[in-house]
Structures are given as structure tokens and as C-alpha cells.
Chains A and B, each alone.
Chain A
Amino acid sequence: QQPVQSPQAVILREGEDAVINCSSSKALYSVHWYRQKHGEAPVFLMILLKGGEQKGHDKISASFNEKKQQSSLYLTASQLSYSGTYFCGTVGRTYNFNKFYFGSGTKLNVKP
């Protein structure tokens, strides 16, 4: 049930845009996005719930298409501070309790 992320890595110049995709073979009720900077803890960015909503965090936004079972994270006019690894996460259910499945991550490197 691990979601699939693409691309695995992106190199950008400051001010450029990027899109990170996350897809699942299972039905999704929500998609979570986290960012982890080198040597630091992953930090929550946003949760998207079923309903095709979009959310934003500074110049980072995301969409969720539950019919296609995928989510996309949009980084607009990227800044150096956006560098890090981005993970999407989905929630599945086993043993009668929820369980988190994270994608393998997309490494974003923003250069001056």
C-alpha cells in the first residue's frame, strides 16, 4: 500500500516551479505531505481530504484527486529554503487500526 512518488529527485534554480506526484493503488481518503531537511525531523506541510480540495502553505500548494487516487504538490517560485526531501503519506487500515504508508520521497535541491 506504499504510495509511489515521482520524480525521485529534482534540481531547480531559485524562482523555478516544480511538481511532485504521489499515487496509490488503493482508495485514498486523505493524503499527507511532509518535508524533511537534511539532518532534521520531517515536518508536516498539509493534509488533503477527500473532495478534490486544494491547500496552500506559503507558495506550496497541493491537489488531491481521489478518483485517480493521486495527489500533486506544487512548489511555485521556489526558494533555497524549499530544499529537502518531500514525502507523501497515506492512511490504510490493518488489525482494525489505521496505519501510515509513506512514499519513498522526492529529493528537491534548489540552487541559487
Chain B
Amino acid sequence: KAGVTQTPRYLIKTRGQQVTLSCSPISGHRSVSWYQQTPGQGLQFLFEYFSETQRNKGNFPGRFSGRQFSNSRSEMNVSTLELGDSALYLCASSSLGTGINEKLFFGSGTQLSVL
């Protein structure tokens, strides 16, 4: 069974540009959640999609948005990039969505550098 696939692996952008990241979950998983990882901050929750609907979102500005397609693949978009957006962006898939007894399967992430 293929794992969670994130593309691209690395991205370099300049301030003001926009970027789209992609995540393909494990086959059969309907939930995709996104996290921002920066040194010292751990994993900060961005949002979760389940069956094409956003279920929950974290405390990030509206420049961060996402969507999920009917095949459960998800995209995350960041518009008007700022230097502080430089981070590793991880997506995780799960069968039933975030739950007290539901484990997450993470992709290797997209390392975004904003210059």
C-alpha cells in the first residue's frame, strides 16, 4: 500500500508570490490534515478535510487555504507569501479523521523557503 505522497519536496518562492502544495493520502483514507512545522514550534494544525469538506481549521490567516477533491487528494494554497511562511508543511491522512483513537500517517512534507 503506497504511503502519503506530498509534492513538491522543495519549493523556493519570493515574498508576495503564491504557492500550491499537493498531498495524496493513503488509498481509502478520506481525511487529510495539514500542519506547519517550524523549529521550536512543533507541529501547528492548519486545517482538516474530510470527504471534500473542511472540518476544522487552525489559527492561521486567510492567506492559507485548502481544498480536497473527490479522490481525497488535497491541495493547500498560500497567497501573498511572507518570510515567516518558510516552514516544512506536512500533510497527514487517516481513515476516519482526527479522533482519540485514530492514528495519522504523515507524508515527508514540502519544505517551503520564502526569500
Contact = CB atoms under 8 A, between A and B. Distances in A.
Contacts of B107: 41
A44 B104 contact: yes
Interface string A24-58: 00000110101000001111100101000000000
Contacts of A2: 42
A92 to B, nearest CB: 9
Given A32-B103, A102-B42, A103-B42, 10 more contacts: A40-B108, A41-B106, A43-B106, A95-B57, A98-B56, A100-B33, A100-B45, A101-B45, A104-B40, A104-B42
A105 interface: yes
A102 B101 CA distance: 15
Chain A binding surface SS class: strand
A43 B108 CA distance: 10
Interface residues of B, number: 28
Leading 6 A-B pairs by shortest Cβ distance: A104-B42, A30-B100, A102-B43, A41-B106, A98-B98, A97-B55
B4 interface: yes
Contacts, number: 69
A91 B106 contact: no
Interface in B60-107: 90, 97-101, 103-107
Interface residues of A, number: 26
Nearest to B99: A98
A41 to B, nearest CB: 4
A87 B4 CA distance: 19
A41 B108 contact: yes
Given A41-B90, A41-B109, A44-B105, A98 B42 contact: no
Nearest to A32: B103
